[in-house]
Amino acid sequence: PHLGISHLTSSVLAGTFFYLTHNPEVLRTATEEVRSTFTSPSEIVTGTKLNSCAYLYACIEETLRRAAPVPSHLPRVVLPDGMTIDDEHFPASTVVGVPMYAIHHNPAYFPDPFTFDPSRWIESSTTSPEAITVARKAFNPFSIGTRGCSGKRLAYMQLKLTLAHVLWRFDLRLAPDEPGRGGGKEGLGIGREREDEFQMYDALGFGRDGPMVEIKCKD
């Protein structure tokens, strides 16, 4: 879990810094919220004040939507009796799955899906409770159910604490000498040419075989 959470946190932080610096108004709003909530960095701890930073939390949610740490599908194997999904039958042993990236960029759930818009997570005159409910049902960066990420709460805590400290202490901007770094560009291939989209490359972290350890109480 430690390896998984440290990898998740670092990738989401990178994505958040990318989208904040590419959207100066969003960065300004998030920074003002943090600096008006805390009078000093020593106050930035887990608790009521940090949880009250709704816009900061929305920035994290929007980054997880745009750049989920596991953007590809989580494979599942069809059971012996087969399975029918959307009127399409899949025989036993077929590997099925839907990429998280595809779900999170479906306009049926997230209008204007390629826009980084934290306000879509906050009820307002332009965002209805119904729209947020639809988005929440499709939002799935940590998977769900028994296969959901056990470190989800730890990840959110680390992300909120880190971002709050950074925004309170520092003024951020996009590095002027490398304005396009991290984003898409012409020639990268289909789906990778959006300059304002953080580019991620999915990979398996590691594999193992054993060890098998026998444990008994000491004498």
Instruction: Tell me the binding residues for heme.
Output: 149
Question: Which positions ≥6 away from 52 have C-beta within 8 Å?
Answer: 37
Q: Which amino acid is at 41?
A: P
DSSP output for 7-41:
HHHHHHHHHHHHHHHH-HHHHHHHHHHHHHH-SSG
Q: How far is CA 71 from CA 65, 68, 192, 213, in A?
A: 9, 5, 14, 34
Question: Which positions ≥6 away from 56 have C-beta within 8 Å?
Answer: 30, 33, 34, 160, 163, 164, 167
- Structure-token pair, residue 54: 């709704």
Show binding-site residues.
149
Instruction: Give the closest residue to 132 by CA, choosing from 54, 191, 204, 45.
Output: 54
Q: What is the DSSP letter of 141?
A: T
